[in-house]
Amino acid sequence: MEPSLATGILLTLLAGLMSGNCMLPVKFTKSWKWENVWLVFSVVSLVILPWALAIALVNRLSETYRALSVHQLAIPVLLGAGWGIAQILFGISVRRLGLGVAYAIIVGLGAVLGTLVPLFVEQSTTGKEHVIGYILIGVTVMVAGIFLTAWGGQIRERATPGTAQAAQHQGYRAAITLAVLCGFMAPMLNYSFAFGQDIAQAAIRLGNPAVHAAYAVWPIGLAGGFLPNLTYSLYLLSKNRTWFSFRSFTPDLFWSSLMGVLWMGAFALYGMSTTYLGSLGTSIGWGLFQIFMIMTATLSGVCTGEWKQAPRTATLLLGLGLTCLTGATVLLALANHYR
């Protein structure tokens, strides 16, 4: 395996490990409600850390942004805003459909579109036919793995005593439509990064190495994503009258901030990995990132006992799903190797 490919896959694996576990700290919060946690998480992950990393690692950052047109800056901001809306729709979809169905639709669509759209829009001339074939087969196997994993998760949920059957709620078709819309918007953060490479190129022209230049993109793209998350958090804080929960800082402030560190750390590593993965980095890298994230989140659930009482059928589907995701990893790695 080429050293750059190995490095890119390793960074993507680490990113998947961090992203797959970034919601784990919420289990340890004591008194804060979801909106309290999400507000702090959003500020840390979408504002403080992206700017801190960019300022620390990108030389002449302000000059980089001044060298760009309004159009070049607006595209990643608007795409980031679309992703921010998808974040909110994801939570609503999970409540209405249950985790299994919502996860299969949203993550499946997000993984497919996030991998294929950058490939065919910006990178279609860089891939040979057999390379694109590997990618398409890998994406197909990945979708099968996501479907099987989500199906197993849904069976496990139904077998768990006291679990609400969200899919039985009224407005099921509307909830499915909402989940599909979310799935189309979910990969917009990757679009923001992929189609915001003018920012990275401007940083490179000012003397920054490519690995560091990627950090200049995140503050701009995530600024768009911050606004919907901020607005929704403030709305819930007012609606539920949970502002008073902020009077108790420990340990919830730590856990909420840790969520932000894990999440932004994951995307920072993902951005670096795309540089090592070459011309197809934002396509293959996104697919690998989604695979490692799903596998990590699923295995974390296994390790914390979520699957302890699961029916045999659910466990079997989980195993098949993880096997498919492993196979998809190999196929995407081969596509990058033969690019």
Rounded distance between C-alpha atoms, residue 291 and residue 3, angstroms: 21
Average of per-residue pLDDT across 290-303: 84
Which H, E and C letters describe the chain, residue by residue?
A: CCHHHHHHHHHHHHHHHHHHCCCHHHHHCCCCCHHHHHHHHHHHHHHHHHHHHHHHHCCCHHHHHHCCCHHHHHHHHHHHHHHHHHHHHHHHHHHHHCHHHHHHHHHHHHHHHHHHHHHHHHCCCCCCHHHHHHHHHHHHHHHHHHHHHHHHHHHHHHHCCCCCCHHHCCCHHHHHHHHHHHHHHCCHHHHHHHCCHHHHHHHHHCCCCHHHHHHHCHHHHHHHHHHHHHHHHHHHHHHCCCHHHHHCCCCHHHHHHHHHHHHHHHHHHHHHHHHHCHHHHHHHHHHHHHHHHHHHHHHHHHHCCCCCCCCHHHHHHHHHHHHHHHHHHHHHHHHHHCC
Q: What is the pTM of this model?
A: 0.82
- Predicted local distance difference test score (pLDDT) of residue 158: 77
Rg (CA), the chain: 20
Residue 159 has pLDDT above 80, yes or no: no
pLDDT band at 257 (very low <50, low <70, confident <90, very high): very high
Confidence of residue 67 (pLDDT cuts 50, 70, 90): very high
**Residues 6 or more apart in contact with residue 285 via CB below 8 angstroms:** 8, 12, 270, 273, 274, 277
Structural tokens at position 206 = 């000012």
Task: Determine what percent of the chain is predicted with pLDDT higher than 90.
Answer: 48
Q: What is the mean pLDDT of the chain?
A: 86
Residue 330: band (very low, low, confident or very high) from pLDDT cuts 50, 70, 90: confident
pLDDT of residue 339: 64
Question: Model confidence at 125, in pLDDT bands (50, 70, 90)?
Answer: very low
Residue 170 predicted with pLDDT over 60: no
Query: Does residue 167 have a pLDDT over 50?
Result: no
The 10s digit of each residue's pLDDT in 39-49 is 999 999 999 99
Q: pLDDT tens digit string along 176-217? A: 788 889 989 989 999 999 899 999 999 999 999 988 999 999
pLDDT tops 90 at residue 274? no
Half-sphere exposure of 318 (CA within 13 A, CB side): 25
- Please tell me which residue, 259 or 147, carries the higher pLDDT value: 259
- Going by pLDDT thresholds of 50, 70 and 90, the confidence category of residue 169 is very low
